[in-house]
Amino acid sequence: MKLSIFYYSLMTMILCIGCNTAAEGQVPKEVKTTFKNMYPKENDPDWHTDKNGNFESNFKKDGEHYKADFSPQGKWLETERRISKKDLPDAIKEKIDKDFKDYELVEIEEVDHNSKGRFYDVEFKKDGEKKDVEFNTQGNIIN
């Protein structure tokens, strides 16, 4: 009985993981076309579907990891990559040092968005609580 419960749990876990990974054949042609037009030198992205049903490609460009999101109709939504604090614009570094000095810096992503343009998504942590703050390139908070 314990063995069958184990196998049932294992199969359920495998199915759940498989549902989040989009096989190459399941990615709509429009999505692949938009990706190829934007990143013509990238031939082997890993595709996943997110919780909103959008398609997310993970790929390397110039040795750096990127993640690009597309709607099922092929519209590009955003591209992001992790960066370090030293790579932030000076205005954002100053804002962080002034207004978030009591927070732990968890993660920074440079984001190019289809409607917001370029912004920086900075994740902070304080007293176990996480906080995401989006900065424009001038250092203003936009969320």
pLDDT at residue 9 greater than cutoff 80? no
Please, are residues 118 and 79 in contact by the beta-carbon 8 Å criterion? no
Residues 68/78, Cβ–Cβ less than 8 Å: yes
What is the mean pLDDT of the segment spanning 120-138? Answer: 95
Residues of the chain with CATH 3.10.450.360: 1-78, 83-143
**Residue from 71, 87, 78, 86 nearest 116 by CA:** 78
- Which residue type does 89 have? P
Q: What is the CATH number of domain 1-78?
A: 3.10.450.360
- The confidence score (pLDDT) of residue 4 equals 47
Q: How confident is the model at residue 20 (pLDDT cuts 50, 70, 90)?
A: very low
Q: Out of 3.90.1150.10, 3.10.450.360, 3.30.230.30, 3.40.50.10190, which CATH number does the structure's domain 83-143 have? A: 3.10.450.360
Task: Tell me how crowded residue 32 is: count the other CB atoms within 10 A of its CB.
Answer: 17
Q: At residue 114, does pLDDT exceed 60?
A: yes
Statement: residue 12 has pLDDT above 60: no
**Structure confidence by residue, pLDDT tens digits, 67-108:** 999 999 999 999 999 999 999 999 999 999 999 999 999 999
Give the CA distances from residue 127 to residues 13, 96, 97, 102, 123, in Å, rounded to whole numbers and listed in that order: 32, 17, 18, 10, 14
Residue with tokens 């692949």, as numbered in its chain: 32
Which residue stretches of the chain are H helix? 2-20, 29-38, 90-99
Structure tokens of 92? Answer: 């954002």
The phi-psi region of residue 28 (left if phi > 0; otherwise alpha if psi is between -120 and 50; otherwise beta) is beta
- Return the ∠ at Cα 40 (arms to 38 and 46), rounded to 5°: 85
